[in-house]
Structure 1
Amino acid sequence: MLVQRLGAPSDFDPLLDRIRGARIVMIGEATHGTHDYYRLREQLTRRLIAEQGFRFVAVEGDWPDCERVHRSVTAAPGGLADPQAALERFTRWPTWMWSNAEVARFCRWLRAWNQERPPQQRAGFHGLDVYSLWESMQAIFDYLGEEEPASLEAAQEAYRCFEPYGRRIEEYGAASRFVSARCEEEVVRLLARTREQAAADGPDRFSAWQNAEVVAGAERYYRAMMGGGPHSWNVRDIHMADTLDRLLDFHGPGSRGIVWAHNTHVGDARATDMAADGMVNIGQLARERHGADAVVLVGFGSYRGTVVAAPRWGSPAEEMVVPPARPGSVERRLHELLPERAVLVFGGPDQPGWVTEEHDHRAVGVVYDPTFESWGNYVPTRLGERYDAFVWCDETRGVRPLPALTSFGEMETYPAGV
């Protein structure tokens, strides 16, 4: 194991040496609202794009919202001139995950970097998640109305199937448990038509196909969610892993991608108690599909500080105090052993017991109650198996949300808010 103190972007050199040759790098976060995680993730990502030729960033966000950002950062025709304006149009709660000053800073850098290169060499920004059923449906209508009006009927049939349940799509999931309310057949027909149309190259066709995949994934997700348990989690993470694979294909042979998501999605589920519950995640799936040598998983953690989160699902965000990590946790051990900031690169025969043995590892979602620290908010983890590297920040502070008009999103995710 190698430990490097962090102070400047150049201090990531040992991690970049580990990444060299990998096709996929997943960079996590222990919360969805910590400035330090976003800032350090940005520094690492800039170097991966500029020095190692990574072609896109794919985030734990909705495809239509991130498509606006993508068009802005790649200076595509019709894209907004300022990526921050695209981020401020994120309305699905919790908006602060991506609509924040830290992401805006990175996206402005990415646009400036892209504008110095021809369009085919520009790095993209994409969404991996599954929630945007209505937004993706509207995007399909917009595309087909202009490009393929003959294919509009399949989209309209899918829309009419969901329409009785309104924007509260979870009502469809509840109804499907008791009556024949499944829209699966209409969605499959829509997906087949858009896949066929997407056989021709082009970013607009690919985006229409991905929106159809989101509609199909959302139908499965909301139906599974009403059954409880981990199945809906697996539907969501398999959708994100499939989207990542499509992006690698779309960006061309040998393309390399970066994922930004919570530690619970990035860190291999097999090294946690998630595996005992039958759960998988995108880190595990990427290792299985592409091989461990082609994938580098990077986790984050801290001992104490503040975080932007919400006390209840759908409520306004606020800055909360994150208390010192509890005894016996990974975070407590790192607080005792390491400097204020460091990157750990795992591997080799000299790894200490606290890296190979199971210890609690903090995970904070968009909903957070610091009083749960004595019994919740932690995932039993074998750190050196879950990640290939780990970024440590002893004390952290919350992100800076951008102004946003928030609309209520999907029901609470399983597990809570990650």
Structure 2
Amino acid sequence: MTRPQSNLVQALRDVIRPLTGASNDYDALLDGVGEARFVLIGEASHGTHEFYRERARLTRRLIEERGFTAVAVEADWPDAYRVNRFVRGQGEDGSALEALADFGRFPKWMWRNEDVQHFVDWLRDHNGRRPGEEAGFYGLDLYSLHRSVREVITYLEAVDPEAAGRARKRYSCFEHFGENPQAYGYATEYGRQEPCEDAAVAQLLELQRREAELAQGPLGGDEHFFAEQNARLAKNAENYYRAMFRGRDESWNIRDRHMAETLEALVEHGEGQSRPQKIVVWAHNSHLGDARASEMGWRRGELNLGQLTRERWPEETYIVGLSTHHGTVTASDDWDEPARTKRVRPGLQGSLEDLCHEVGEPGFWLDLRGQNAATDALREERLQRFIGVIYRPETERWSHYVHTRPAEMYDALLHFDETSTVVPLDPDTGDAQDEVPDTYPAGL
């Protein structure tokens, strides 16, 4: 039964915890995290400064006070691994700005922005003060098909030139289409070329079979893990780009299953080095909020990383959703166009954003695990806004809103009533994009 909005607003006012910028803002939230090993922190857009700032602020506390060992983000594996080397004092980069240079495809601003730069600087400094307890930085996504193929070959050329030759021969299957995986997916799905699936699987299996041998070589276990993950990405991306032509739901599920596989691989690799893993995940609410509590799941048959993590580690997962009512956001009008500062419209009447706005606080967080009138109300279905790298306010209801049950999607909600844009590190971030994701045009 739907409750009057005025009653819900008062119920929320009774239980929210205002965010003031004080050092103790998140004390109770960390208490709620408890012994969780996976804290998934979302965002309601890919271009909001407050989301990036507060996510980093909370993550710093998890690393410093709760011993979290890694940050895994909605980004390509090889691009993020360059940052991982930098924060661990490895590689040749002399600054966070240099370490972020591989994030060269659209949308650059998603990871090449001032908030991420500041966090990467902090993480390197933290790691420098905690030898043996360093926290890593990793990518979970699968859009880097051709880049990952090159990384596998480069690794093998250094440790086993004959194996590199075998890899080059296997991966040559992709070469007929240059670096356009959409063309590959189209050709294989419509019978114009045999899929490269068997070759990609064979390469991954060879690396896995030889792990004990190669990991003892001159590049060590971490570099073999890097290569093996690139081979896993190539296998899953091959399947993903073929699935794009079979429907969004199937390709979405392949992508989020890949993210979950990568998370599991990070855990196994860390524990194989005798260090229990505790991982913070940064991604969009659409990936981290449990899909079973959204029409993504109950109408479209989509699953996501939040659901899969809860299913795999049900007692050790804590999910934080973020929201805003109005302000500005860095986003584009269309795919591969330059970033713009765009005005975010006030939340639709009756939506989660509208309800939070009525509370009258500039920022607060809410424990959704509590048993009270507010959380009971948020277990009911209501609209929630999702803005990706594309924002189309003129069709906002149909482009950006989804029915959800917020208290079932998340364990906690952070709300910032008026928000502002992230500051890109590049003046024009609309560079050419070869490996266009299936999430076009929303870019979630």
TM class by shorter-chain length?
A: over 0.9
* 2:364/2:414 contact within 8 Å kept: yes
* Matching of residue 414 in structure 1 with residue 439 in structure 2: yes
Question: Can you give the 5+ residue segments of structure 2 that lack an aligned partner in the other structure?
Answer: 1-11
What is the deviation of 1:220? 0.6
In structure 2, relative to structure 1, the CA distance for the partners of 1:207 and 1:412 (3 Å cut) is closer
State the match for 1:367 in structure 2. 390
What is the deviation of 1:338? 4.4
State the match for 1:217 in structure 2. 236
Q: Distance in 2 between matches of 1:338 and 1:270?
A: 30
State the match for 1:296 in structure 2. 318
* Matching of residue 334 in structure 1 with residue 356 in structure 2: yes
Q: How does 1:189-228 map to 2 (within 5 A)?
A: 189-199=202-212, 200=215, 202-228=221-247
**Cα displacement string for residues 170-226 of structure 1 (whole angstroms, at most 9, x for unaligned residues):** 101001122242001110111011112333361001000000011011101100011
SS at match of 2:16: strand
* Matching of residue 385 in structure 1 with residue 411 in structure 2: no
Alignment match of 1:358 (pick from 381, 391, 395) = 381
State the match for 1:250 in structure 2. 269
Amino acid aligned to 2:348: R
In structure 2, relative to structure 1, the CA distance for the partners of 1:244 and 1:176 (3 Å cut) is same
**Cα displacement string for residues 67-123 of structure 1 (whole angstroms, at most 9, x for unaligned residues):** 1100001112x24121221113311111111011100000000000000122x3100
**Cα displacement string for residues 305-364 of structure 1 (whole angstroms, at most 9, x for unaligned residues):** 000111011111111000111101000011002411001111232142431111100100
State the match for 2:328 in structure 1. 306
SS at match of 1:167: coil
Q: Distance in 2 between matches of 1:79 and 1:193?
A: 30
Q: Distance in 2 between matches of 1:65 and 1:229?
A: 25
State the match for 1:343 in structure 2. 365
Alignment match of 2:165 (pick from 147, 153, 157) = 153
* 1:93/1:409 contact within 8 Å kept: no
Q: Distance in 2 between matches of 1:71 and 1:414?
A: 29
Amino acid aligned to 1:175: A
Q: Over aligned residues, Cα RMSD in angstroms?
A: 1.5
What is the deviation of 1:227? 1.3
In structure 2, relative to structure 1, the CA distance for the partners of 1:284 and 1:338 (3 Å cut) is farther
Amino acid aligned to 1:89: D
State the match for 1:184 in structure 2. 197
Question: Can you give the 5+ residue segments of structure 1 that lack an aligned partner in the other structure?
Answer: none
**Cα displacement string for residues 224-271 of structure 1 (whole angstroms, at most 9, x for unaligned residues):** 011123000000000000000110111225310010000000000000
Q: How does 1:114-129 map to 2 (within 5 A)?
A: 114-118=127-131, 120-129=132-141
State the match for 1:236 in structure 2. 255
* Matching of residue 28 in structure 1 with residue 42 in structure 2: yes
Q: Aligned pairs, how many? A: 415
* 2:179/2:434 contact within 8 Å kept: no
What is the deviation of 1:168? 1.0
Q: Distance in 1 between matches of 2:385 and 2:300?
A: 18
Amino acid aligned to 2:190: F
